[in-house]
A and B are shown apart, each in its own frame.
Chain A
Amino acid sequence: MNRSFRLLAALTCIALPSAASAQAITGSISASADIATVFSFGTPSALNFGSVTPGTGATASGYIPLSRNVGVIYSLPDGATTGQLTGPAGNLQPTYTCGVGSTNSAIVNAFTSCNATGNQLTLTAPASTLTEYVIFNGTLGAGQTNIAPGTYTGTIRVTATPN
Protein backbone atom coordinates (compact mmCIF):
# COMPACT_ATOMS: atom_id res chain seq x y z
CA MET A 1 0.00 0.00 0.00
CA ASN A 2 1.44 3.36 -0.92
CA ARG A 3 1.86 6.11 1.67
CA SER A 4 -0.80 8.47 0.34
CA PHE A 5 -3.44 5.78 0.33
CA ARG A 6 -2.77 4.94 3.97
CA LEU A 7 -3.01 8.61 4.88
CA LEU A 8 -6.34 8.92 3.06
CA ALA A 9 -7.73 5.92 4.87
CA ALA A 10 -6.70 7.31 8.26
CA LEU A 11 -8.14 10.75 7.55
CA THR A 12 -11.37 9.22 6.38
CA CYS A 13 -11.70 7.31 9.62
CA ILE A 14 -11.05 10.43 11.71
CA ALA A 15 -13.54 12.48 9.75
CA LEU A 16 -16.38 10.01 9.78
CA PRO A 17 -17.50 10.40 13.40
CA SER A 18 -18.09 14.09 12.82
CA ALA A 19 -20.01 13.43 9.70
CA ALA A 20 -22.10 10.82 11.42
CA SER A 21 -23.16 13.11 14.26
CA ALA A 22 -23.42 16.36 12.29
CA GLN A 23 -27.19 16.24 12.00
CA ALA A 24 -28.89 19.05 13.87
CA ILE A 25 -31.86 18.27 16.04
CA THR A 26 -34.71 20.56 15.20
CA GLY A 27 -37.88 21.64 16.88
CA SER A 28 -40.38 24.28 16.01
CA ILE A 29 -42.98 26.42 17.69
CA SER A 30 -45.73 28.58 16.31
CA ALA A 31 -46.08 32.32 16.66
CA SER A 32 -49.47 33.91 16.20
CA ALA A 33 -51.52 37.07 16.48
CA ASP A 34 -55.07 38.05 15.72
CA ILE A 35 -55.94 41.47 14.43
CA ALA A 36 -59.09 42.78 15.98
CA THR A 37 -62.01 44.29 14.18
CA VAL A 38 -62.09 48.02 14.82
CA PHE A 39 -65.65 49.27 14.91
CA SER A 40 -66.65 51.88 17.41
CA PHE A 41 -68.44 55.19 17.62
CA GLY A 42 -66.63 58.11 19.20
CA THR A 43 -67.96 61.06 21.09
CA PRO A 44 -70.79 62.82 19.25
CA SER A 45 -71.07 66.50 18.64
CA ALA A 46 -74.69 67.55 19.10
CA LEU A 47 -76.77 69.63 16.73
CA ASN A 48 -77.73 72.82 18.48
CA PHE A 49 -80.16 75.20 16.79
CA GLY A 50 -79.47 77.63 19.58
CA SER A 51 -81.91 80.27 20.67
CA VAL A 52 -84.38 80.70 17.85
CA THR A 53 -86.47 83.79 17.36
CA PRO A 54 -90.04 82.70 16.73
CA GLY A 55 -90.92 83.00 13.07
CA THR A 56 -87.35 82.73 11.83
CA GLY A 57 -85.46 79.80 10.45
CA ALA A 58 -82.49 78.07 12.03
CA THR A 59 -79.83 75.56 11.08
CA ALA A 60 -77.53 73.28 12.98
CA SER A 61 -74.94 70.62 12.26
CA GLY A 62 -73.73 67.69 14.27
CA TYR A 63 -71.78 64.53 13.80
CA ILE A 64 -70.64 61.29 15.38
CA PRO A 65 -67.31 59.70 14.45
CA LEU A 66 -66.99 56.02 13.62
CA SER A 67 -63.62 54.22 13.55
CA ARG A 68 -63.53 51.02 11.55
CA ASN A 69 -61.39 48.63 9.55
CA VAL A 70 -64.28 46.66 8.10
CA GLY A 71 -67.24 47.51 5.90
CA VAL A 72 -70.32 49.18 7.34
CA ILE A 73 -74.04 49.50 6.72
CA TYR A 74 -75.70 52.59 8.12
CA SER A 75 -79.38 52.71 8.95
CA LEU A 76 -81.80 54.94 10.85
CA PRO A 77 -83.95 52.90 13.22
CA ASP A 78 -86.34 55.76 13.94
CA GLY A 79 -87.21 56.29 10.30
CA ALA A 80 -89.56 59.20 9.75
CA THR A 81 -89.10 60.56 13.26
CA THR A 82 -85.30 60.62 13.13
CA GLY A 83 -84.10 63.70 14.97
CA GLN A 84 -87.58 64.84 15.91
CA LEU A 85 -87.60 67.52 18.62
CA THR A 86 -90.12 67.53 21.41
CA GLY A 87 -91.00 70.50 23.58
CA PRO A 88 -93.83 72.57 25.06
CA ALA A 89 -95.71 72.81 21.77
CA GLY A 90 -95.31 69.13 20.99
CA ASN A 91 -93.18 67.69 18.22
CA LEU A 92 -91.02 69.63 15.85
CA GLN A 93 -89.48 67.80 12.89
CA PRO A 94 -86.47 69.53 11.30
CA THR A 95 -85.48 68.61 7.78
CA TYR A 96 -82.09 67.00 7.46
CA THR A 97 -79.36 66.28 5.00
CA CYS A 98 -77.17 63.49 6.19
CA GLY A 99 -74.35 61.17 5.25
CA VAL A 100 -70.75 60.30 5.90
CA GLY A 101 -67.63 62.37 5.41
CA SER A 102 -63.94 61.99 5.99
CA THR A 103 -64.07 65.21 8.00
CA ASN A 104 -66.75 66.37 10.39
CA SER A 105 -67.93 69.17 8.15
CA ALA A 106 -68.61 67.85 4.64
CA ILE A 107 -70.79 64.96 3.55
CA VAL A 108 -69.06 62.81 0.93
CA ASN A 109 -71.44 59.84 0.81
CA ALA A 110 -75.04 60.83 1.39
CA PHE A 111 -77.64 58.60 2.97
CA THR A 112 -80.42 57.58 0.63
CA SER A 113 -82.87 59.17 3.03
CA CYS A 114 -82.54 60.89 6.39
CA ASN A 115 -86.01 59.97 7.56
CA ALA A 116 -86.65 56.41 6.47
CA THR A 117 -85.95 53.03 7.92
CA GLY A 118 -83.84 50.43 6.12
CA ASN A 119 -80.27 50.57 4.98
CA GLN A 120 -79.28 54.08 4.00
CA LEU A 121 -75.63 53.68 3.07
CA THR A 122 -73.24 50.76 2.62
CA LEU A 123 -69.48 51.35 2.58
CA THR A 124 -66.80 48.75 1.89
CA ALA A 125 -63.86 47.88 4.13
CA PRO A 126 -61.18 50.55 3.99
CA ALA A 127 -57.58 49.84 3.03
CA SER A 128 -56.58 50.82 6.53
CA THR A 129 -58.27 51.72 9.77
CA LEU A 130 -60.03 55.05 9.43
CA THR A 131 -62.28 57.41 11.29
CA GLU A 132 -65.23 58.80 9.37
CA TYR A 133 -68.03 61.07 10.47
CA VAL A 134 -71.76 60.58 10.26
CA ILE A 135 -72.99 64.12 9.70
CA PHE A 136 -76.47 65.55 10.10
CA ASN A 137 -77.30 69.05 8.94
CA GLY A 138 -80.68 70.21 10.23
CA THR A 139 -82.96 73.03 9.16
CA LEU A 140 -85.94 74.53 10.91
CA GLY A 141 -88.18 76.57 8.63
CA ALA A 142 -89.46 79.95 9.73
CA GLY A 143 -92.97 78.60 9.68
CA GLN A 144 -92.05 75.90 12.20
CA THR A 145 -90.65 78.13 14.92
CA ASN A 146 -93.56 80.39 15.67
CA ILE A 147 -94.57 78.16 18.51
CA ALA A 148 -94.67 78.07 22.30
CA PRO A 149 -91.34 78.98 23.85
CA GLY A 150 -89.25 76.42 25.66
CA THR A 151 -86.59 73.81 25.11
CA TYR A 152 -87.09 71.33 22.32
CA THR A 153 -84.87 68.28 22.32
CA GLY A 154 -84.57 65.04 20.45
CA THR A 155 -82.19 62.28 19.50
CA ILE A 156 -80.78 61.18 16.18
CA ARG A 157 -80.20 57.46 16.36
CA VAL A 158 -77.85 55.93 13.81
CA THR A 159 -77.14 52.23 13.57
CA ALA A 160 -73.86 51.05 12.11
CA THR A 161 -73.56 47.35 11.31
CA PRO A 162 -70.21 45.75 10.40
CA ASN A 163 -70.31 44.41 6.88
Chain B
Amino acid sequence: MTPRAGQRALFALLLASCPAIAGAQSKQTVSINPVQNLAFGLLLPGLREAVTVSDASRRAVVALSGNGPIDVTLVLPNALETTTGDRIPLSFSSSDAALITTSGSLLKQLDPLQTNRVQLGNDRTVLLILGGTAITSNATRTGHYTARVTLLATHPGT
Protein backbone atom coordinates (compact mmCIF):
# COMPACT_ATOMS: atom_id res chain seq x y z
CA MET B 1 0.00 0.00 0.00
CA THR B 2 1.31 3.45 -0.95
CA PRO B 3 1.31 6.28 1.60
CA ARG B 4 -1.53 8.00 -0.30
CA ALA B 5 -3.61 4.82 -0.37
CA GLY B 6 -3.08 4.47 3.38
CA GLN B 7 -4.35 7.98 3.94
CA ARG B 8 -7.50 7.20 1.99
CA ALA B 9 -8.13 4.05 3.95
CA LEU B 10 -7.74 5.87 7.24
CA PHE B 11 -10.03 8.66 6.10
CA ALA B 12 -12.68 6.14 5.09
CA LEU B 13 -12.39 4.50 8.51
CA LEU B 14 -12.89 7.83 10.24
CA LEU B 15 -15.98 8.54 8.17
CA ALA B 16 -17.41 5.12 8.90
CA SER B 17 -17.14 5.74 12.63
CA CYS B 18 -19.10 8.96 12.53
CA PRO B 19 -22.69 7.63 12.04
CA ALA B 20 -22.51 6.07 15.49
CA ILE B 21 -22.20 9.52 17.00
CA ALA B 22 -25.00 10.82 14.84
CA GLY B 23 -27.15 7.93 15.95
CA ALA B 24 -26.58 8.79 19.59
CA GLN B 25 -27.88 12.31 19.02
CA SER B 26 -30.97 11.15 17.15
CA LYS B 27 -32.49 9.97 20.45
CA GLN B 28 -33.68 13.55 20.80
CA THR B 29 -36.89 12.75 18.98
CA VAL B 30 -39.97 14.83 18.46
CA SER B 31 -43.27 14.12 16.82
CA ILE B 32 -45.76 16.59 15.42
CA ASN B 33 -49.42 15.66 15.14
CA PRO B 34 -52.04 18.09 13.86
CA VAL B 35 -55.11 18.00 16.07
CA GLN B 36 -57.33 20.85 14.94
CA ASN B 37 -57.27 23.28 12.03
CA LEU B 38 -57.50 27.03 12.33
CA ALA B 39 -61.13 27.60 11.39
CA PHE B 40 -62.45 31.13 11.02
CA GLY B 41 -65.86 29.77 10.08
CA LEU B 42 -68.52 31.68 8.23
CA LEU B 43 -67.51 35.31 7.72
CA LEU B 44 -69.24 38.34 6.31
CA PRO B 45 -67.52 40.63 3.81
CA GLY B 46 -66.01 43.81 5.22
CA LEU B 47 -65.12 42.60 8.69
CA ARG B 48 -62.04 41.63 10.70
CA GLU B 49 -62.43 38.28 12.38
CA ALA B 50 -59.94 37.29 15.06
CA VAL B 51 -59.53 33.79 16.41
CA THR B 52 -57.73 34.07 19.74
CA VAL B 53 -55.69 31.33 21.37
CA SER B 54 -58.42 31.05 23.99
CA ASP B 55 -61.00 30.17 21.32
CA ALA B 56 -60.95 26.44 21.87
CA SER B 57 -63.27 25.55 19.04
CA ARG B 58 -61.61 27.57 16.28
CA ARG B 59 -57.89 27.86 17.14
CA ALA B 60 -55.35 25.55 15.55
CA VAL B 61 -53.93 22.80 17.76
CA VAL B 62 -50.80 20.75 17.13
CA ALA B 63 -49.57 18.07 19.50
CA LEU B 64 -45.83 17.96 20.15
CA SER B 65 -44.15 15.14 21.99
CA GLY B 66 -40.64 13.90 22.52
CA ASN B 67 -37.60 14.76 24.54
CA GLY B 68 -35.23 17.66 24.85
CA PRO B 69 -35.35 21.21 23.63
CA ILE B 70 -36.63 21.98 20.17
CA ASP B 71 -36.90 25.14 18.16
CA VAL B 72 -40.35 25.58 16.70
CA THR B 73 -40.86 27.81 13.69
CA LEU B 74 -44.23 28.47 12.09
CA VAL B 75 -44.42 29.24 8.39
CA LEU B 76 -47.49 31.45 8.33
CA PRO B 77 -49.55 32.15 5.21
CA ASN B 78 -50.23 35.70 4.12
CA ALA B 79 -53.76 34.95 3.03
CA LEU B 80 -56.51 32.41 2.69
CA GLU B 81 -57.28 31.68 -0.93
CA THR B 82 -59.92 30.09 -3.08
CA THR B 83 -59.10 27.79 -5.93
CA THR B 84 -59.81 30.69 -8.28
CA GLY B 85 -57.32 32.99 -6.57
CA ASP B 86 -59.56 35.17 -4.45
CA ARG B 87 -57.80 36.09 -1.21
CA ILE B 88 -58.53 37.00 2.38
CA PRO B 89 -55.46 38.58 4.02
CA LEU B 90 -54.33 37.06 7.30
CA SER B 91 -52.41 38.68 10.12
CA PHE B 92 -50.71 37.14 13.12
CA SER B 93 -49.55 38.97 16.22
CA SER B 94 -46.97 38.09 18.83
CA SER B 95 -49.71 36.86 21.15
CA ASP B 96 -51.34 34.50 18.65
CA ALA B 97 -49.60 31.31 19.80
CA ALA B 98 -49.02 29.48 23.04
CA LEU B 99 -47.95 26.18 24.47
CA ILE B 100 -50.42 24.46 26.75
CA THR B 101 -50.76 21.13 28.47
CA THR B 102 -53.23 18.57 27.25
CA SER B 103 -55.47 19.66 30.11
CA GLY B 104 -55.38 23.24 28.88
CA SER B 105 -52.99 24.90 31.32
CA LEU B 106 -50.74 27.56 29.84
CA LEU B 107 -47.10 26.56 29.75
CA LYS B 108 -45.63 29.33 27.69
CA GLN B 109 -46.72 32.20 25.48
CA LEU B 110 -45.18 31.84 22.02
CA ASP B 111 -44.55 34.39 19.32
CA PRO B 112 -45.67 32.82 16.04
CA LEU B 113 -43.61 35.37 14.14
CA GLN B 114 -40.34 34.10 15.62
CA THR B 115 -38.60 30.83 16.33
CA ASN B 116 -39.53 29.60 19.80
CA ARG B 117 -37.49 27.32 22.06
CA VAL B 118 -39.70 24.62 23.56
CA GLN B 119 -38.58 22.11 26.18
CA LEU B 120 -40.06 18.65 25.76
CA GLY B 121 -39.67 16.07 28.45
CA ASN B 122 -40.32 12.39 29.11
CA ASP B 123 -42.28 12.01 25.91
CA ARG B 124 -44.95 14.17 27.47
CA THR B 125 -47.37 15.64 24.93
CA VAL B 126 -47.87 19.38 24.87
CA LEU B 127 -50.14 21.36 22.58
CA LEU B 128 -49.12 24.27 20.43
CA ILE B 129 -52.12 26.48 19.79
CA LEU B 130 -52.41 29.18 17.17
CA GLY B 131 -54.90 31.95 16.47
CA GLY B 132 -54.93 34.71 13.86
CA THR B 133 -56.98 37.37 12.20
CA ALA B 134 -58.73 37.25 8.83
CA ILE B 135 -59.50 40.58 7.20
CA THR B 136 -62.32 40.56 4.69
CA SER B 137 -63.39 43.50 2.57
CA ASN B 138 -66.65 44.35 0.87
CA ALA B 139 -65.08 43.00 -2.29
CA THR B 140 -64.42 39.58 -0.77
CA ARG B 141 -66.43 37.12 -2.78
CA THR B 142 -68.57 34.31 -1.49
CA GLY B 143 -66.66 31.04 -1.30
CA HIS B 144 -64.43 28.65 0.59
CA TYR B 145 -60.96 29.96 1.43
CA THR B 146 -58.04 27.88 2.69
CA ALA B 147 -54.35 28.12 3.51
CA ARG B 148 -51.71 25.92 5.11
CA VAL B 149 -49.64 26.61 8.20
CA THR B 150 -46.38 24.68 8.32
CA LEU B 151 -44.58 23.93 11.55
CA LEU B 152 -40.87 23.19 11.57
CA ALA B 153 -39.19 21.64 14.60
CA THR B 154 -35.43 21.34 14.89
CA HIS B 155 -33.15 20.46 17.77
CA PRO B 156 -31.07 23.44 18.87
CA GLY B 157 -27.58 23.52 17.48
CA THR B 158 -28.41 21.47 14.43
Contact = CB atoms under 8 A, between A and B. Distances in A.
Contacts, number: 162
B42 A36 contact: yes
A9 B37 contact: no
Contacts of A148: none
B60 interface: yes
Given A24-B153, A24-B154, A25-B153, A31 B22 contact: no
A7 to B, nearest CB: 12
A35 B158 contact: no
A70 B158 CA distance: 53
B134 A69 contact: no
Interface string A4-31: 0100011011001111111011111111
B116 to A, nearest CB: 14
Contact of B37 (A24, A26, A31, A127): A31
Interface residues of A, number: 35
Interface string B16-37: 0111011011101011111011
B150 A28 contact: yes
A22 B77 contact: no
6 contacts: A20-B19, A28-B149, A31-B90, A31-B132, A33-B40, A34-B144
Contact of A35 (B3, B24, B30, B136): B136
B46 interface: yes
B148 A29 contact: yes
B146 interface: yes
Interface string B106-138: 000000000000000000000000101010111
A12 B19 CA distance: 12
Contacts of B141: 35, 69, 125
Nearest to B79: A31
A129 interface: yes
A31 B7 contact: no
A125 B11 CA distance: 72
A25 B73 CA distance: 10
Contact of B145 (A5, A35, A38): A35
A43 interface: no
Contacts of B43: 33-36
B152 interface: yes
A28 to B, nearest CB: 5
Nearest to B130: A29
A10 to B, nearest CB: 8
Given A9-B10, A21-B25, A35-B45, A26 B142 contact: no
B52 interface: no
A51 interface: no
B56 interface: no
